Amino acid sequence: MSQIEDEYKKRFNQQELSNGDFDSEGLWGAIAEDLDQTQPKENQQKRRFLFFFLLLTGALIGTYYFSTSSQQIVENTVGNYANTDSNAEANTEANAEANVNTQKALNSLVLSSKEAEQQNLPTKTAKKAAPTAESVKTIHATPELTQAPLKESRAVKPLATIEKEVRSTRTNEIRSTVFPVENNSTKKQSVAAEKQPVENLNPPAPQAIDRMSMSLSTLPTLLSFVKSDADLQVPLPVLNRESDPLKKEKSFAWQIGVWGGSNLINFNYKSDNSPDLAKLKAQAETGELGISLGLNTTLSWKNRWLFNTGIEYHRLWSKFETKQQKSIQINKENQLLKAWTDGFTGDTLNRQYGDITIDGIATRTVVHYNQYQQFSIPIEIGLQQTSQQLVYGVTLGGILNFTTKQSGKTLSKDAAVIDFDTNNAMAPFKKFSIGLRVNPFVGYRISTAWTIKVHPQWTWQAGANFDDTDLKLNIHQFNLNLGLAYSFD
């Protein structure tokens, strides 16, 4: 080290400048203000993530609400009807009052169903009244109930009236049902249906007479012919939920899915000032197969329009390969340097050997596998078409990418091989970026709830900003994924 270098090191290494007239308080004030005002980027990212997480949760809850509320209204209406009917049966101990009570009770059904509709109060009371969803499928009439109309022909009238009224209000959604009723010995139980106007109402007990299925619309006609309980034991086919014309078609449906697949990235560099460097960098790094995994949820409207979101994990790989040439000096030992020959005979008289150094060019090939790790949240809208068991369509939209890890080798602005990691300015991915996504899909319904899907994807995102060059990087990602989705009815 020369004298001047020594002097530099001696003077400036570990040098400290006394504050003197330097305004250290003013500087501290500015620093404190900066620390107070702006939040660290990481916190901002966390907040963004939290925001989208809450958005996602809200979407799921909203979807769940929409998909279940109309079903609850159906249960509520039917449950009230069933309860009322069995309560009417309980009142047939006094035959004279039976018809009146039945009418009252059934009228209350209409009231309840209307209330349920108007007040949208559906759920808990209704669920209590309608013990299980399965019970919604059948009608049960009790002997007492059916005997009452036989004694007084006008007793048929309320049922028919009720039927009409119920149908006129909300019966499109009703599967006409009467529940099993209890024996007389268990009748004096507490009243479960709070809003029934009928006194002495008893809830139905689980022990019951044989079930009999029938359509509510056939009940009045049937009642005019029956003479005993046995006549009522006419089984009717259970209504098929899927094909029930009375069932209201739901507008919204909710689907969740899981998928996995393989990905391939492509780096596309552009530069106005250094096109050669852009070309060199693009040639040096080529995509390799990586893996992608994801969970997604899709809200469909009228089985046609889609809103899709979820969370994805991508493990991306690329191969960095470049050849570098370097001037080197090669030592060769024991080489012939000189030879002396006899001028007359031409014989070699003496030879001189020694080591020589020659200039050469060494070519070095650098091969390295770069790796990147991303978490993404897609927000897409789309369209789908259904043809028998086949579902196909496309979703497109934006994608929020969070790059959590990246490491490998790349070329610097001087085309030298350098290492990069997550925090390095030469790393190709931004820590956070917004991209675009196109996601066509084809699915096959293996059952009413389960669908297998194949969906290729194309995703675009802008690469990092390289401070000291005008390089621009576009990253394209291609995926081929296989997924399984479950639909909530």
Partner 1 sequence: MEVDYDLIQSCIAQDRKAQKQLYELLLPYLRAIANRYLRDTSYIKDVLQESFVKIFRSLDKYNFDKAPLKQWAAKITINSAFNYNKRVIGVPKEEFVVASHETPILPANVQNWTDDDLLLTLKKMPEGYFEVFNLFVVDGYAHEEIAVMLGISEALSRKRLSRAKAWLKKNYEKIDLRAQPNRSSIS
Which chain residues interact with partner 1 by CB under 8 A?
A: 1-5, 7-9, 11-19, 22-24, 27-28, 30-32, 34-35, 40, 326, 412-414, 416-419, 424-426, 467-468
Task: Report yes or no: 119 and 111 within 8 Å, Cβ to Cβ.
Answer: no
What CA–CA distance (Å, rounded) separates 320 from 287? Answer: 9
Nearer to partner 1, 325 or 448 (CB): 325
Nearer to partner 1, 236 or 418 (CB): 418
Strand (E) positions, 203-347? 252-270, 285-301, 305-341
Nearer to partner 1, 43 or 57 (CB): 43
- In the complex, least distance from residue 414 CB atom to partner 1, rounded to whole angstroms: 6
- In the complex, least distance from residue 30 CB atom to partner 1, rounded to whole angstroms: 5
The identity of residue 336, as a single letter, is L
Task: Report yes or no: 439 and 459 within 8 Å, Cβ to Cβ.
Answer: no
Nearer to partner 1, 3 or 118 (CB): 3
- In the complex, least distance from residue 3 CB atom to partner 1, rounded to whole angstroms: 6
- In the complex, least distance from residue 463 CB atom to partner 1, rounded to whole angstroms: 16
- In the complex, least distance from residue 404 CB atom to partner 1, rounded to whole angstroms: 14
CB neighbours of 82 closer than 8 A, spacing ≥ 6?
129, 130, 135, 177, 178, 179, 204
Could you give the dihedral angle defined by the CA atoms of residues 462, 463, 464 and 465, in that order, rounded to the nearest 10 degrees? -70
- In the complex, least distance from residue 370 CB atom to partner 1, rounded to whole angstroms: 16
Cβ-based burial of 24 (10 A; exposed 0-12, middle 13-18, buried ≥19): exposed
Nearer to partner 1, 54 or 328 (CB): 328
Nearer to partner 1, 146 or 370 (CB): 370
Give the helix/strand (H/E) hosting 124: helix 123-129
SS3 195: coil
- In the complex, least distance from residue 430 CB atom to partner 1, rounded to whole angstroms: 17
What CA–CA distance (Å, rounded) separates 220 from 146? Answer: 10
Q: Which residues pair with 488 in a beta bridge?
A: 254
Nearer to partner 1, 156 or 278 (CB): 278
CB atoms within 10 A of CB 174: 23
- In the complex, least distance from residue 465 CB atom to partner 1, rounded to whole angstroms: 13
Nearer to partner 1, 71 or 412 (CB): 412
**Within 13 Å of residue 136, how many CA atoms lie on the same side as its CB?**
26
